[in-house]
Structure 1
Amino acid sequence: MLPDKFFDCLKYEGVVAIGTASAQGEAHIANTWNSYLIVTEEERILIPAAGMHKTERNSNENPHVEITLGTREVEGHRGPGTGFLLTGTAAFLKEGALFDRMKEKCPFAARVLVFTPERCRQTL
């Protein structure tokens, strides 16, 4: 489901925005970096969480999450720079194989956000 251009973006640094909403609809955005992400063989996206406590609370109430990411280094629809909007669900883990995989890459991670994309759309 994830296109090659998405993986090209991950080769360069850029900001990742993670949008959640509480059960009452209160929106929250957290950020991380492209270089911290791990895409599993099943195309789940692992994101390190050192803080992200409000993101975790929101996803426990409402697991629907939207993520944007991009880079200026990859050609987009109309010139330099491209980005993606991903929608899907999130869960936080603090143990297990996925957590261990993330902890090896990002020792600062207290938990791992496991994002399961349902849709990926190029926005730029």
Structure 2
Amino acid sequence: MLSEKFYDVLKHEGVVSIVSWGTDEPHIVNTWNSFIVVTDDERLLIPAAGMRKTEKNINENSKVKLALGTKEVLGYKDYQGTGFVIDGTAKYLESGSDFDMMKEKFPFLSRVLEITVSSAVQKI
């Protein structure tokens, strides 16, 4: 499901916005492209140190949206930069092999945000 262009974007730094919503208004938290690890089955793993409001929202509604991109990868019609919108469902990991692998890469994390992608659309 994830395109070669998506993987190219992750090779370059850029901001990632994660949108969650529970019973209140939407909430946005940010991270970096370089913090995203894609598993063999194309789940996205993101280290979480804070993200407490995001966690609260996900406990009420597991749906999330992500927007990410970089100006370093050409987009449609050779535009400078490209970006993606990801839809998926999320949960937090506090143990297990994925958690252990992420903890080794990112010692600061307290949990891992795991996103199962349902769609990944290039927007630019």
TM-score category of the 2 structures, normalised to the smaller one: over 0.9
2:35 maps to amino acid: Y
Q: Unmatched 5+ residue regions in structure 1? A: none
Give the deviation of 1:26 after TM superposition.
1.6
Q: Identify the residue that residue 47 of structure 2 maps to in structure 1.
A: 48
| Structure 1 residue 115 corresponds to structure 2 residue 124 | no
After superposition, the CA RMSD in angstroms is 0.7
Q: Identify the residue that residue 14 of structure 1 maps to in structure 2.
A: 14
Q: Identify the residue that residue 63 of structure 1 maps to in structure 2.
A: 62
Q: Identify the residue that residue 80 of structure 1 maps to in structure 2.
A: 80
CA displacement, residues 32-74 of structure 1 (integer Å, 9 cap, x when unaligned):
0000110000000000000000000000100000011100000
Q: Identify the residue that residue 94 of structure 2 maps to in structure 1.
A: 94
CA displacement, residues 83-116 of structure 1 (integer Å, 9 cap, x when unaligned):
0000010000111111111111111010000000
| Structure 1 residue 39 corresponds to structure 2 residue 38 | yes
Q: Unmatched 5+ residue regions in structure 2? A: none
Q: Identify the residue that residue 28 of structure 1 maps to in structure 2.
A: 27
> Which structure features the higher share of strand residues?
1
Deviating above 2 A after TM superposition, structure 1's stretches of 4 or more consecutive aligned residues are: none
2:32 maps to amino acid: W
Q: Equivalents in 1 of 2:102, 2:116: separation in Å?
A: 15
